Amino acid sequence: MKNLSTDTATSPAKRNHGLDLEPSWFDDIQVNLSALERRSATLGTRRSVKKQWQAAWLLKAISCIDLTTLSGDDTPAKVKRLCAKARQPVREDLLTALDMGDLGLTVGAICVYPTMVPHAVKALEGSKIPVASVATGFPAGLTPLKQRLEEISFAVSEGAKEIDIVITREYALLGQWDKLYDEVKAMRERCGEAHLKTILATGELGHFRNVYKASMVCMQAGADFIKTSTGKESINATLPTSLVMVRGIRAYLENTDIKIGFKPAGGIRTAKDAMNWQFLMREELGREWLEPELFRFGASSLLTDIERQLEHYVTGRYSATFRHPVG
């Protein structure tokens, strides 16, 4: 079933080195709430993707997952099991049935705490799967800045290729955009060659205008990705919030010709959820934002449901979740 191929080449995204803080890009932003909600609601209701086309979208979604474990009981053995799943995210028999055995499918990255980075790096030796690490006092981000910067340095020195930082929400809530800019810029510099993903924790920013402004400030400070949530808030990734952030990415692209990545995280558990976010990226930003260089899901349980949907396509039956263990 080679028509399920997920190959569409995309050139590596040019690094975002940032620019001077430019408040005029966001100071007067307004958000039409009813239009925002109406647009978001249509993503999952006005299109129908079935059969082999749905399978193709789901295979593409797998390649964009940051397979994540961020629990207090994380151990080297648990991380090793997760990395094994990252290398072979879909059972071999299902890929063979889909005529995709030679696809070389992997997830986009493994995301762990800084102390787990060396174990993930070792487990992924020989693969091209990068290790991402949360840092900067995740998830609250309220430790002293010096300590947060040192945490970035530690994760990078241990082999992390991507760093997911959390912003100080206080700066966004008080409109102290210069302080937010300086903080993220310092974190970007500390990352060096590692890519910086800034977590806005949008559920704690108060309103959509703050979401847009924080997105733009982080991009101006040099973020390579902007990310919705830590996954630990009471409100995590939502389509309306994501739409606001994606429109910010589009505005930044128009002003700078720099492509910024997007990562929804928290609460994305089903294959249907994944496809709705893919529809959003395809329609708002274009085909390039369906590749892991510019789009990631932060997820731990999403892969299980996607694999169940692929087995249903192959066999016509839904399987139990224990047939598709993640870690």
Closest CA to 185 of 5, 2, 16: 16
Residue 205 has pLDDT above 80, yes or no: yes
Among 60, 161, 197, 227, which one carries the catalytic annotation?
Answer: 227
- 71 alpha carbon, distance to own chain's centre: 18
CA distance to 66, 129, 226, 307, 321, per residue, from 303 (Å): 10, 16, 22, 6, 10
For residue 11, being part of any structural domain is answered with: no
> How many CB atoms lie under 10 A from the CB of residue 157?
12
Residue 230 has pLDDT above 50, yes or no: yes
How much is the pLDDT for 12?
Answer: 55
Closest CA to 272 of 64, 46, 95, 58: 58
Residue 263: active-site member: yes
pTM of the predicted protein model? 0.93
CA atoms within 13 A on the CB side of 106: 16
For the chain, the average pLDDT equals 93
Among 164, 224, 273, 305, which one carries the catalytic annotation?
Answer: 164
Residue 60: active-site member: no
Among 60, 213, 263, 273, which one carries the catalytic annotation?
Answer: 263
Residue 85: active-site member: no
At 266-324, the pLDDT tens digits run 999 999 999 999 999 999 999 999 999 999 999 888 999 999 999 999 999 888 877 77
CA atoms within 13 A on the CB side of 255: 18
How much is the pLDDT for 321?
Answer: 78
For residue 6, being part of any structural domain is answered with: no
Residue 301's domain comprises 30-320
Q: What is the secondary structure of 201-264 as a DSSP string?
A: -GGGSSSHHHHHHHHHHHHHTT-SEEE---S-SSS---HHHHHHHHHHHHHHHHHH----EEE-
How much is the pLDDT for 10?
Answer: 45
CA dihedral (288, 155, 146, 297) positive or negative: positive
At 172-191, the pLDDT tens digits run 999 999 999 999 999 999 99
Distance of alpha carbon 197 from alpha carbon 206, whole angstroms: 21
For residue 97, being part of any structural domain is answered with: yes
Residue 88 has pLDDT above 60, yes or no: yes
For residue 92, being part of any structural domain is answered with: yes
List the CATH number of the domain containing 296. Answer: 3.20.20.70
44 vs 149, residue with greater confidence = 149
For residue 311, being part of any structural domain is answered with: yes
How much is the pLDDT for 45?
Answer: 80
When mean pLDDT is compared across 30-34, 47-51, 91-95, 295-299, the lowest value belongs to 47-51
- 253 alpha carbon, distance to own chain's centre: 18
For residue 278, being part of any structural domain is answered with: yes
For residue 5, being part of any structural domain is answered with: no
Q: Give the number of domains in the chain.
A: 1
Beta bridge partners of 166: 199
For residue 300, being part of any structural domain is answered with: yes
